[in-house]
Amino acid sequence: MELDDLRRQWQQPAPAQAPAPLSAADLTQLVARQSGSIVGQLRRNARLEMGVNYALLAMSLAMCALAPLLWLRLFGGLLALVAVVCIYYLNRKLGLLRSMDDPAGNLRVHLLRITGGLRALIRFYYRFTLAMIPVTALMIAAFAMLKMLGNFTPAKLTLILGSLVVEMAVLYWPASRATTWYLQRLYGQHLDRLEGQLRELDEVARTEAQ
């Protein structure tokens, strides 16, 4: 029996050695590489949006110049304003992301600044998009009232204002949901991953403190 036991022990493969734990410096370098790939995806999405908004700006300016009707020219001006604001917003976002190329100093502090700045810009984008609902509705109401000049009554004003309120109420929820989904798909999911990297760096800091 002892001989059989010895034979079985000899035939069994030697247990693999457990990999050596990563040092705090190694973990920090790993997090930096992973964060860089996430930032690269955020940059690509921002550049794609930038191209779309430049195209929107060109079409809006063409509408302002060539549309035969006044309301179309004014609507083109509103779209051009939206495109300019979005281009400014995206330039700010790309500038923030470019700062990741040289994360001087503490990586955690740098990532915290980037994620905080991007979250603030996304909140601005969300609020600006929803603010366009009442602005557009007011423009439509103004056109309707201009058409009624000389034939304007309190009943018609009530009808216009009531339609305005209903339009905003109907559009707000789907616009809010669609904007939230769009921003989460393009930016939010990647920011969630960056914030996960921040939590890993917190673990590194706690490891170093022990």
> Of 108-112, 133-137, 142-146, which has the strongest mean pLDDT?
133-137
Tell me which residue has tokens 């969300």.
Answer: 126
Cα 69 to Cα 74, 115, 137, 181, distances in angstroms: 9, 45, 18, 35
Percentage of residues of the chain with pLDDT beyond 90: 15
How high is the pLDDT of residue 2? 42
CB 207 within 8 A of CB 24: yes
How high is the pLDDT of residue 58? 95
Cα 70 from Cα 83, distance rounded (Å): 20
Q: Which residue has the higher pLDDT, 56 or 138?
A: 56
pLDDT tens sequence across 79-92? 899 999 999 988 98
Mean pLDDT to the nearest integer, 27-35: 55
Full-model pTM: 0.69
Q: Which residue has the higher pLDDT, 196 or 177?
A: 177
Mean pLDDT to the nearest integer, 163-186: 87
What are the sequence ranges of the domains in the chain? 25-205
Cα 201 from Cα 203, distance rounded (Å): 5
Mean pLDDT to the nearest integer, 22-45: 64
How high is the pLDDT of residue 104? 56
Number of helices and strands in the chain (H, E): 6, 0
How high is the pLDDT of residue 17? 47
Mean of the per-residue pLDDT values for the chain?
Answer: 76
CB 108 within 8 A of CB 202: yes
